[in-house]
Amino acid sequence: MRGIDVCCSGNPYRVTIGAGALTALADELNRLGFDDTVIVVTDATVAELFGEGLERHLAESRFSPHLIVIPPGEDQKCLEMAGVLYGRLNELGAERSTPLVAFGGGVVGDLTGFVAATYFRGLPLVQVPTTLLAQVDSSIGGKVAVNHGTLKNNVGAFHQPVAVITDTSLLTHLPEREFRNGLAEVIKSAMIRDETFFRYLESQMECVTARDTEVLERIVARTVEIKASVVAEDEKDTGLRNILNFGHTVGHGIESATSFSLCHGEAVSIGMIAATQIAIAMNMVSMEVFDRLKSLLQRAGLPVAIPDFVDLGAVLDAMSRDKKMAKGRLRFILPVRTGVVEIRGDVSMDLLRRTLESCYAAA
């Protein structure tokens, strides 16, 4: 088991990572001074797989757990469901000191976090992420949100958890595509911050995809460390934190142009390829870096070309509406070498269009 301390203003918190870490939840709640009522929000899939085990663990450690089970899926991350949860908290007699445990993927984490940030102006939040994406990304950093109208994550807050319990053994049950979804963020983290980690992934990708216990624990822990260090330097997302968006400028455009039929990690994978091609055209990075990144993404089972059914005009349109537009210019995170990226605002529309044309599978 590993512990990573995340520094943030006021309330530093600990991320406990390892196979079997779930059994540390009660101790962590005790250490934080909570007693009795614990409200756990989860989705039906996670409840079915692990709900009973979690309830038993908490009950055996003198807590009274109450499980609130919502349907799975991104659609649940909305104000209506937040309203349902406020109602349940009221019925359960939640007080300002009652901890809310988000037990699930990023959807449960973001929604529960949003409810925790707003109910009684802030309940303590414990993140217990169960997807690879939630373990390495959404449970860290304190961003919580729901979707409203046609926009994603547009109603939200910064609400840091008091603790994160990351049990890598829960990933054994994760469907292949969900696993790859998180792997894209792992590879991204290595590309933006850590050449040694990138080499490690190159040497271990087959063990990663086989979900080897040791390797999984190590890659989750390193990716959490990387995100935590970036977030600690830029908690409110005003500068450095942008580097976490490597691959996301184009990625979001593709996700949105395909009405989310490509999952986030798949779109980000293609986005990292596009960003690296742009960097090559701007003489910022070598072809060797591009080849290594492409090969690693392919070995992870991620796409490296835009599928032919994706409409380029729609991608460019979606990108121009993106929140990563700074003063009318798109902001790109471009690689300089493995482990180092730069934030750039000087990518021309013409270069972007030409690069995306060359990123099509049939090109």
Ligand X SMILES: NC(=O)c1ccc[n+]([C@@H]2O[C@H](COP(=O)([O-])OP(=O)(O)OC[C@H]3O[C@@H](n4cnc5c(N)ncnc54)[C@H](O)[C@@H]3O)[C@@H](O)[C@H]2O)c1
Nearest to 72 by CA among 43, 51, 49, 109: 43
Tell me if 231 contacts ligand X by CB under 6 A: no
Size of the site for ligand X (CB under 6 A): 29
Contact 19, 170 (CB under 8 A): no
Tell me if 228 contacts ligand X by CB under 6 A: no
Q: Which of 46, 54, 268, 302 binds ligand X (CB under 6 A)?
A: 46
Contact 96, 33 (CB under 8 A): no
Tell me if 45 contacts ligand X by CB under 6 A: yes
Task: Scan residues 143-162 and list those touching ligand X (CB under 6 A).
Answer: 143, 152-153
Nearest to 276 by CA among 184, 197, 198, 355: 355
Q: Which of 166, 168, 181, 276 binds ligand X (CB under 6 A)?
A: 181
What lies within 8 Å, CB to CB, of 166 at 6+ separation is 15, 16, 17, 18, 21, 128, 129, 135, 139, 220, 224
Tell me if 141 contacts ligand X by CB under 6 A: yes
Residue placing its CB nearer to ligand X in the complex, 55 or 137: 137
**Angstrom distance (rounded) from CA 298 to CA 49:** 30
Tell me if 107 contacts ligand X by CB under 6 A: yes
Strands 332-337, 340-344: pairing kind = antiparallel
Q: Minimal distance in Å, beta carbon 75 to ligand X? A: 10
Q: Minimal distance in Å, beta carbon 120 to ligand X? A: 21
> In which element (H, E) is residue 288 found?
helix 287-299
Q: Minimal distance in Å, beta carbon 216 to ligand X? A: 12
Strands 332-337, 100-104: pairing kind = unpaired
Nearest-CB residue to ligand X? 106
Q: Minimal distance in Å, beta carbon 278 to ligand X? A: 23
Tell me if 177 contacts ligand X by CB under 6 A: no
Q: Minimal distance in Å, beta carbon 73 to ligand X? A: 6
Tell me if 138 contacts ligand X by CB under 6 A: yes
Q: Minimal distance in Å, beta carbon 111 to ligand X? A: 8
Contact 133, 182 (CB under 8 A): yes
Q: Which of 137, 194, 217, 225 binds ligand X (CB under 6 A)?
A: 137
User: What is the maximum alpha-carbon separation in the chain?
Assistant: 63
Q: Output phi, psi for 338, to 5 deg.
A: -65, 130
User: In the stretch 57-86, what mask flags binding to ligand X with x, by CB under 6 A?
Assistant: ---------------x-x--x---------
Contact 41, 15 (CB under 8 A): no
Q: Minimal distance in Å, beta carbon 270 to ligand X? A: 17
**Angstrom distance (rounded) from CA 34 to CA 58:** 12
- What does the binding site for ligand X look like in residue numbers (CB under 6 A)? 43, 45-46, 49, 72, 74, 77, 104-108, 110, 130-131, 133-134, 137-138, 141, 143, 152-153, 170-171, 173-174, 178, 181
